[in-house]
Amino acid sequence: MTDTTRPPRPMGAYRPFFKRAALTACLLAIAPLGMAATLRIDNSAEPGTLDPQKTSGTWETRIVRELFETLVSQDAKGDLVPGLASHWQLSDDGLTWTLELRDDAQWSDGQPLTAGDAVFSLRRLLKPELAAHNANLYYPIKNARAINAGEAAPETLGVHALDDHHLEIRLERPTAWFLQAIAMPEAAPLPEHVLKESERWIVPGNTVVSGPFKLSEWSPQDHITLDKNERYYDADKVSLDEVILYPLEEATAALNRFRTGALDISYTSVPGGRFQQLRQELGDALRVSPLVGEYFYMFNLKPDSPLGDIRVREALNLATRREVITDQLLGMGQTPSYWLVPRVTEGGTKGEMPMAQLSMDKRMARAHELMKAAGFGPNNPVKLTLRYNTLEDHKKIAVALAAMWKPLGVEVSLVNAEAASHYAAIREGDFQLARYGMVATINDPYDFLGSYTTGGSAARSSGYHDETYDQLVEQSSETIDTGERAELLTRAQQRLLDDYALLPLYDYITTALVSERVHGWEPSPMDVHPLRYISIEE
């Protein structure tokens, strides 16, 4: 009603992230047997771009990974396996990677794919004009940061083609997680011969690709169709002939379509309030798996904030009944957390906040003591403003937190805002307590801990600063030995947790709906499900 007469179309914005799909699917489903194997996926959102170097979200990389094969690839579970590079090797000083490319790799237009394409691609990625969101992951490469800042020419990048099939990457310093970065679509080789001609090169039906699928149709906000790329080096192992992706954002819309059989896989999160009911109805089709991501509240630690006082921060952590949030409010199997680095992250980081071992009674008793010591209590309440971005689950949690802290004499005013305003406020440090979520870009503790090092995004917003912490994280990055590195990272995280520098709530999970006709779909902590391993029953 409100949305008919004026551009704002008010009610709609309630579902901030939706998309839509098309029904071609239905017709295809009743197509004659013996036809091509078609998989219909709800991709959860409309991709902003299919240029692998400009992407910023899973709904983009999910497609881009199928179009452009990376040097180091991922298997059905998300583990690193050979891709375009059949072998790789790190020098003893940890500074030089040498990758050997397969000799049967080619572009979809028949041109050979060479190490030169890889060099071209990484130089392009770091050009400031390209403004790649994830360029910083490649700063460990020699000269990369200077190039990205416009202070050096792209040709000075420490990446060289030794010959058509050998690539050498020199680093500024040893970097334990660098192979993860090489496995990202940003670093996938790009067809230099095409890009030299035009920067408008993502053209449906005509994009030159290297991966198992080609882009055959792209109708914005409607659907994207991928067709099998017969020139892909492993084409005979790819079972699907065609994949149609619909950008459905609305959970109920995606669910309804899955129920009517118009979708084989849905990546839109299922509606939270109905999880138990859906679990009964859908059984094994509803897949819930841990995700490398953490849901927490950021504290503003700057001295003028009441949260600059560690006693208040600990008290809030003590009085937060995480199980109530995960079991009663959300009920989808999230793990309550007392840490920043999700447990499912690779790299073996351990540790938790010291208070986690206390019983609830002891926690509350201690919380009251701490608040009293800090000079607050029912007669002298501490007033806090809590910010969250508008979303049903965020609201539920914020409301519950305010109620949980009330007995401590904490008066919380809740302030919600749409996402852009919310994150702008965080960026500018204009908050006391702010809802925040971190989902890993690379499956490594550094992705979380790095943000709290001086100059990192969380440190800039929250005002966290600890030199020992910085040193430990720094050292861990340069340590190649896995065990030793895990030890350093655990120590670093422990400093953060001993400081109660944040309010962790739970480790993320991710949901997917996968039809029983689909085979080869595996849970993966980075939510990567390469289509080449997936098949569908007729």
Partner 1 sequence: MLSYIAKRLAMAIPTLLIVITASFFLMRVAPGGPFDGERQLPPEIEANLMAAYHLDEPLPMQYLRYMGNLVQGDFGPSFKYKDFSVTDLIAQGFPVSLELGGLAIVLALLLGIPMGVMAALRRNSTVDYLLMGTALGGIAVPNFVIAPLMALFFGVILGWLPVGGWNGGALPNLVLPVVALAIQQIAYIARMMRASMIEVLGSHFIRTARAKGLNERQVIWRHALRPAMLPVLSYLGPAIAGIITGSVVIEQIFGLPGIGRYFVQGALNRDYTLVMGTVVFYGILIVLMNLIVDLLYSLFDPQIRYDD
Partner 2 sequence: MTSSSGAHDTHAASGTGRDAADHLQGGGGPNPPQAPVAQPGESLAREAWRRLRHNRAAMASLVLLALMAVICIAGPWFMPWDLAEVDWNAFGVAPTLEGQHWLGTDANGRDLLTRTLYGGRVSLSVALVATLVSLVIGVLYGAISGYVGGRTDNLMMRFVDIMYSLPFMFLVILLMVVFGRNIFLIYAAIGAVEWLDMARIVRGQTLSLKRREFIEAAHALGVRDSKIVTRHLIPNSIGPVIIYVTLTVPKVILLESFLSFLGLGVQEPLTSWGVLISEGTSNMQGAPWMLIVPATFLAVTLFCLNFLGDGLRDALDPRTR
Q: How many CB atoms lie within 10 A of CB 23?
A: 12
By a kind-dependent CB cut-off of 5 to 8 A, residue 495 interacts, out of partner 2, partner 1, none, with: none
75 in helix, strand or coil? coil
Q: Yes or no: say if 419 and 435 are a contact pair by the CB < 8 Å rule.
A: no
Stretch that binds partner 2, among 26-34, 106-114, 211-219, 400-408 (CB under 8 A): 400-408
Which residue from 48, 71, 259, 421 is in contact with partner 2, where contact means CB under 8 A?
421
The secondary structure element, H or E, covering residue 382 is strand 382-389
Q: Does 8 bind partner 2 (CB under 8 A)?
A: yes
The structure tokens 């859908």 sit at 282
The structure tokens 């400009």 sit at 54
The structure tokens listed for 41 are: 């996926």
Which residue from 202, 209, 371, 497 is in contact with partner 1, where contact means CB under 8 A?
202
By a kind-dependent CB cut-off of 5 to 8 A, residue 438 interacts, out of partner 1, partner 2, none, with: partner 1
By a kind-dependent CB cut-off of 5 to 8 A, residue 214 interacts, out of partner 1, partner 2, none, with: none
Instruction: Mark out the alpha helices in 56-139 (DSSP H runs).
Output: 58-67, 115-126
Which residue from 414, 457, 478, 523 is in contact with partner 2, where contact means CB under 8 A?
414
Q: Yes or no: say if 454 and 470 are a contact pair by the CB < 8 Å rule.
A: yes
296 in helix, strand or coil? strand
Rounded to a whole number of angstroms, the minimum distance from the CB of residue 361 to partner 1 is 36
Q: Yes or no: say if 358 and 282 are a contact pair by the CB < 8 Å rule.
A: no
Site for partner 1 in 127-166 (CB under 8 A): 128-133, 135-136, 145, 148-149
Stretch that binds partner 1, among 41-49, 378-386, 397-405, 510-518 (CB under 8 A): 41-49
The structure tokens listed for 110 are: 């028949």
Which residue from 269, 289, 335, 421 is in contact with partner 1, where contact means CB under 8 A?
421
What is the separation of C-alpha 460 from the centre of its chain, rounded to a whole number of angstroms?
21
Site for partner 1 in 51-90 (CB under 8 A): 51, 54, 56
- The rounded distance, in Å, linking the Cα atoms of 215 and 367 is 57
- The rounded distance, in Å, linking the Cα atoms of 528 and 534 is 12
By a kind-dependent CB cut-off of 5 to 8 A, residue 419 interacts, out of partner 1, partner 2, none, with: partner 1
Which residue from 179, 417, 480, 518 is in contact with partner 2, where contact means CB under 8 A?
417
Give the residue with the Cβ less far from partner 2, 141 or 251: 251
Give the residue with the Cβ less far from partner 1, 256 or 380: 256
Q: Does 402 bind partner 2 (CB under 8 A)?
A: yes
- The rounded distance, in Å, linking the Cα atoms of 294 and 314 is 19
- The rounded distance, in Å, linking the Cα atoms of 293 and 290 is 8
Stretch that binds partner 2, among 9-17, 68-76, 126-134, 195-203 (CB under 8 A): 9-17
The secondary structure element, H or E, covering residue 502 is strand 502-514
Stretch that binds partner 1, among 167-175, 279-287, 353-361, 457-465 (CB under 8 A): 457-465
- Estimate the share of the chain in helix, then strand, then coil, as percent rounded to the nearest 5: 35, 20, 40
Q: Does 482 bind partner 1 (CB under 8 A)?
A: no
Which residue from 82, 271, 354, 409 is in contact with partner 2, where contact means CB under 8 A?
271
Number of shown-chain residues binding partner 1 (CB under 8 A): 80
Residue 235-254 contact track with partner 1, rule CB under 8 A, x = bound: -----------x-xxx-xx-
Which residue from 98, 111, 390, 475 is in contact with partner 2, where contact means CB under 8 A?
390
Q: Does 395 bind partner 2 (CB under 8 A)?
A: yes
Q: How many CB atoms lie within 10 A of CB 219?
A: 11
Q: Yes or no: say if 117 and 185 are a contact pair by the CB < 8 Å rule.
A: no
Which residue from 219, 276, 380, 454 is in contact with partner 1, where contact means CB under 8 A?
219
